[in-house]
Structure 1
Amino acid sequence: MRVMIIGASGQLGYELSKVLQTHDPIKTYVSQEIAGGIKLDLTDYHSVEDFIIKKKPDVVINAAAFTDVDGCEVNKEKAFKINAEAVKHLVRASRVIEAYLVHVSTDYVFDGIKGLYREDDIPNPINYYGLTKLLGEAYVLSYDDSLIVRTSGVFRDKGFPIYAYKTLKEGKEVLAFKGYYSPISAKKLAEAINELITYRKSGIIHVAGERISRYELALKIKELYNLSGKVIEVDNIKGWIARRPFDSSLDISKAKKILSIDFYSIDDNLRFMVI
């Protein structure tokens, strides 16, 4: 099975490269060079399609995205090109070579009013990042042989858990947004995607961690590592530009029935922080 990882230099892409190494994956990156990787500008749509069609992978995993939520509000053109328009061309190329397409999306396609969102709940993004990711989903759903993996708060060497650990270790205050999500380590998400590929499911599936508030998560990290800093729960973070959903947690019951691994345990996921 020939596998292509789009965005192999990111947190998830790095872990996917490791878990799929027996398949000798074709790895692409945008700016951060990686060993054995091939530079691919996702906004050069003709080159993207040409590259995929010539390489003829059996599976294309799109782990690339412009994930800076505030950055998407400021640079909407870039966000649209990478999170939406580029996905259309990944779909076009995958369809030509009949490749199975796995596209990684986000809990931010939801407004955060109710939380524990199911796959069939109606999206309603409240920021531009979520909107562009939802548009990308629409392109993917136009192709029958595809799977959208929605996830939440992916972390490895960056993300809220890493920020909390480092800040608390320095004895400083962690500002934790008063809201809920479903954080998952990049390693666990990669392992889940690796298993899902073998089933060749289509449609949408939520793969994420257990529902938890950032405040509770920071307290858990503080206790787990016996750190000296203080955790403060806040309604908003100074400097934020984009609105954040209050409770974007995902219902993962469907994935629990399909997958054989424990991808969701908070304690287990925290073991794979790179700190």
Structure 2
Amino acid sequence: MIKVVITGSNGLLGQSLLNLLLQEKEKYQVFGFSRGGNRSGRNDFSYVSIDITNEEDLKETILKIKPNFIINTAAMTQVDDCEVDKQACDLLNVTVVKWLVEVSQKINTHLIHISTDFIFDGIKGNYKETDTPNPLSYYGLSKLKSEEILINSNINYTILRTILVFGKVYDMSRSNIVLWVKSMLEKGNEITIVDDQYRTPTYVEDLALACKISMDKKATGIFNISSNELLSVFEIAQEIADVFHLDKSLIKPISTSTLNQTAPRPAKTGFDLSKTNTILEFYPKSFKEDLQRFKDIIR
């Protein structure tokens, strides 16, 4: 039995991972860590209600379980909130990772950690795993610091960098671009979307699968996980309208400079997926194909 701890098991990726791994109950024994009650709608795994920002609780609980793998999906990801509350951002995105590394070292646990395209400045785009990071925001900096903790440790680790994750699970505390655009257009609301930021969005089912493949292959190092086609956020919104047969004339383009966001965003990210194709033998599809798969699930 492979013991797996998922931090942030109530989140979008956390619940998606539960759903994926629990298809193979004979192979994986799954422990979900989250604050408060279990929101996954499932009771066929070990749920642990825990505040992972409490070092003693976190380490003690993990030492008792002795997992083979920890998949750290917990993070503060609201970019503007991170810019405003740097202390809270550092605690969850950096310090907790340091503790996870320390406890993993004691019990020889492989740590899988989720990172972001926001570690880059967005000048070049189509980033490889080996490109030099230069974060523009405090959120990006916190995720870069967490990567460095893993890289400078002597544990087995996998860093999966991802972009603009979307999907739907049982009980969600936060929306994402696809659900938000779909909901607004269904209500007939006009929306403004930036046309000068470029991304390769990630279907949460693919990110969950990449976590599982990383475990099964015991793959270590850094890998890029996203769809394979670079689109402006405006084009992303238009594709959502197309796939769900909604009125795309309601989508109006605007430039980033008009938004007055607290934290700066990289203009153009997107990932080179060659290493993911070669080593993980994982071949992400286009955003449109992912949207179609998603649509088939939520009908």
1:46-125 equivalent positions in 2, closer than 5 A: 46-125=56-135
Residue of structure 2 aligned with 1:206, choices 224, 249, 259: 224
Secondary structure of the equivalent of 1:166? helix
Aligned twin of 2:294: 272
1:95 CA displacement:
0.8
Partner of 1:186: 204
RMSD: 1.7
Match of 2:254 in 1: 234
Partner letter of residue 213 of structure 1?
S
CA distance in 1, matches of 2:185, 2:121: 30
Q: In the alignment, what sits opposite 2:165?
A: 154
* Partner residue, 1:217: 236
Give the Cα–Cα distance (whole angstroms) in 2 for the partners of residues 252 and 233 of structure 1. 29
What's the counterpart of residue 244 of structure 1? 265
Task: Measure the CA separation in 2 of the matches of 1:118 and 1:258.
Answer: 14
SS in 1 for 2:77: coil
Query: Where does the alignment leave 5 or more consecutive residues of structure 1 unmatched?
Result: none
For 2:274 and 2:220, how far apart are their aligned partners in 1? 16
Counterparts of 1:166 and 1:258 in 2: how far apart (Å)?
38
Out of 121, 142, 149, the position equivalent to 1:139 is: 149
Further displaced range: 56-65 or 189-198:
189-198
Aligned partner of 2:172 in structure 1 is none
Which amino acid in the other structure matches residue 115 of structure 1?
A: G
* TM-superposed deviation, 1:155: 1.0
Matched, 1:254 2:264: no
CA deviations 1:61-119 (Å, max 9, x no partner) are 00110011111011110000000011000000011100111001111011111111110
How many angstroms does 1:261 deviate by?
4.5
Cα contact 1:189–1:263 (8 A) shared by 2: no
TM (norm. structure 1) is 0.94
Give, in angstroms, the shift of residue 186 of structure 1: 1.0
- Once the two structures are superposed, residues 149-168 of structure 1 have per-residue CA deviations (whole angstroms, 9 ceiling, x without a partner) of 10110111321122111112
- Separation (CA, whole Å) in 2 of partners of 1:64 and 1:45: 15
Question: More deviation in 37-46 or 106-115?
Answer: 37-46
CA distance in 2, matches of 1:128, 1:83: 11
2:294 alignment partner, SS class: coil
State the alpha-carbon separation in 1 of the partners of residues 244 and 166 from structure 2: 17
C-alpha deviation, 1:257, in angstroms: 1.9
Measure, in 2, the Cα distance between the counterparts of 1:94 and 1:135: 18
AA at the equivalent of 2:222 = I
Higher mean alpha-carbon deviation, 265-274 vs 96-105, is at: 265-274
Letter in 2 for 1:15: S
